[in-house]
Amino acid sequence: MNSKELINYMKSTFGEPMVEVVDLKKYFPVKGVFRTIGYVRAVDGVSFIVPKGKTLGLVGESGCGKTTTGRLILRLIEPTSGHVYFDGKDIFKLKGKKLLEFRRKAQMVFQDPYMSLDPRMTVFDIIMEPIRAHKIKVEDPQKFVVNLLYEVGLNETHLYRYPHEFSGGQRQRIAVARVLALEPEFIVLDEPTSALDVSVQAQILNMLKDLQAKRGLTYLFISHDLGVVRYMSDYIAVMYLGKIVEMGPAEEVFEKPLHPYTKMLFASMPVPDPFEAKKKPKVEVIGEPPSPINPPPGCRFHPRCQYAMDICRKKEPPLVMAEKGHFVACWLYAKK
Amino acid sequence: MRCKDPIIVVKDLYVNFYTYAGVVKAINGVSFEICRGETYCLVGETGCGKSVTSRALTRLIKSPGRIEKGEIYFYPEPGKKIDIMKLSDEEIRKIRGYDIAYIFQDPSASLDPLYTIGYHVAETMAFHGVVQSIKEGIKKAAQVLRLAKMPDPESRVRAFPHELSGGMKQRAVIGMSLANRPKLLIADEPTTALDVTIQAQIMNFLKELKEKENLTLLLITHNMGLVAEMCDTVAVMYAGEIVEEAPVEELFKNPLHPYTRGLMRAVPKHVGKNVTLESIPGTVPNLIFPPPGCRFHPRCPYRFDPCDKKRPPLIEIEKNHKVACWLYAKEGGKR
Ligand SMILES: Nc1ncnc2c1ncn2[C@@H]1O[C@H](COP(=O)(O)OP(=O)(O)OP(=O)(O)O)[C@@H](O)[C@H]1O
Ligand SMILES: Nc1ncnc2c1ncn2[C@@H]1O[C@H](COP(=O)(O)OP(=O)(O)OP(=O)(O)O)[C@@H](O)[C@H]1O
Ligand SMILES: [Mg+2]
Ligand SMILES: [Mg+2]
CATH class of A3-254: alpha beta
**Do A85 and A72 meet the contact criterion of CB atoms below 8 Å apart?**
no
- Which pLDDT belongs to residue A113? 67
pTM assigned to the model: 0.89
**Residue B25 pLDDT > 90:** yes
B48 lines ligand 2 (CB under 6 A): yes
**Residue B335 pLDDT > 50:** no
DSSP string over A121-184: S-HHHHHHHHHHHTT---S-HHHHHHHHHHHTT--GGGTT--GGGS-HHHHHHHHHHHHHTT--
Residue B270 belongs to domain spanning: 241-332
Q: How far apart are CA B267 and CA A236, in angstroms?
A: 20
Q: How far apart are CA B222 and CA A272, in angstroms?
A: 11
A42 lines ligand 1 (CB under 6 A): yes
**Do B195 and A61 meet the contact criterion of CB atoms below 8 Å apart?**
yes
- B174 phi and psi, to 5 degrees? -65, -40
In chain B, positions 121-160, which contact chain A (CB-CB < 8 Å)?
151
Ranges of chain A whose pLDDT falls below 70 = 113-114, 283, 336
The pLDDT tens digits of the residues spanning A18-32 come to 999 999 999 998 887
Does B252 sit within 8 Å of A275, measured CB to CB? Answer: yes
| Interface size, chain A vs chain B, as Cβ–Cβ contacts under 8 Å | 137
Domain boundaries, chain A: 3-254
Tally of domains in chain B: 1
B65 lines ligand 2 (CB under 6 A): yes
Does B45 sit within 8 Å of A288, measured CB to CB? Answer: no
Does B272 sit within 8 Å of A199, measured CB to CB? Answer: no
User: Is B27 a domain residue?
Assistant: no
- Beta strands B216-221 and B184-188, pairing class: parallel
- Which pLDDT belongs to residue A138? 92
User: Is B148 a domain residue?
Assistant: no
- Which pLDDT belongs to residue B333? 46
Residue whose CA is at the smallest distance from ligand 2 atom 18: B49
Does A224 sit within 8 Å of B196, measured CB to CB? Answer: yes
User: Is B20 a domain residue?
Assistant: no
Does A205 sit within 8 Å of B277, measured CB to CB? Answer: yes
User: Is B279 a domain residue?
Assistant: yes
DSSP A29: E
- Residue B178 near chain A (CB below 8 Å): no
The closest CB to that of B279, out of A199, A251, A285, belongs to A199
Q: What SS3 class is residue B44?
A: coil
**Residues of chain A contacting B229 with CB distance shorter than 8 Å:** 270-271, 274, 277, 280
Of chain B, the percentage scoring pLDDT greater than 70 comes to: 97
The pLDDT tens digits of the residues spanning B52-71 come to 999 999 999 999 999 999 99
- Which pLDDT belongs to residue B211? 87
- Which pLDDT belongs to residue B272? 67
Taking the centre of ligand 2 as the mean of its atom positions, its distance from the CA of residue B289, in whole angstroms, is 15
**Do B117 and B157 meet the contact criterion of CB atoms below 8 Å apart?**
yes
**Do A336 and A15 meet the contact criterion of CB atoms below 8 Å apart?**
no
**Residues of chain A contacting B201 with CB distance shorter than 8 Å:** 285
User: Is B59 a domain residue?
Assistant: no
Q: How far apart are CA B225 and CA B163, in angstroms?
A: 31
Taking the centre of ligand 1 as the mean of its atom positions, its distance from the CA of residue A58, in whole angstroms, is 14
Residue type, A242: G
Tell me what ipTM this predicted complex has: 0.84
DSSP string over B178-226: HTT--SEEEEESTTTTS-HHHHHHHHHHHHHHHHHHT-EEEEEES-HHH
User: Is B146 a domain residue?
Assistant: no
Q: Average pLDDT, whole number, for chain B?
A: 91
User: Is B49 a domain residue?
Assistant: no
Q: How far apart are CA B165 and CA B185, in angstroms?
A: 23
Taking the centre of ligand 1 as the mean of its atom positions, its distance from the CA of residue A247, in whole angstroms, is 21
Helices (H), chain B: 50-56, 89-95, 117-127, 134-147, 153-156, 166-178, 196-213, 224-230, 248-253, 258-266
Residue whose CA is at the smallest distance from ligand 2 atom 26: B46
pLDDT band at B51 (very low <50, low <70, confident <90, very high): very high
In chain B, positions 274-293, which contact chain A (CB-CB < 8 Å)?
275-281, 283-284
**Do A5 and A317 meet the contact criterion of CB atoms below 8 Å apart?**
no
- Which pLDDT belongs to residue B168? 85
- A165 phi and psi, to 5 degrees? -85, 0
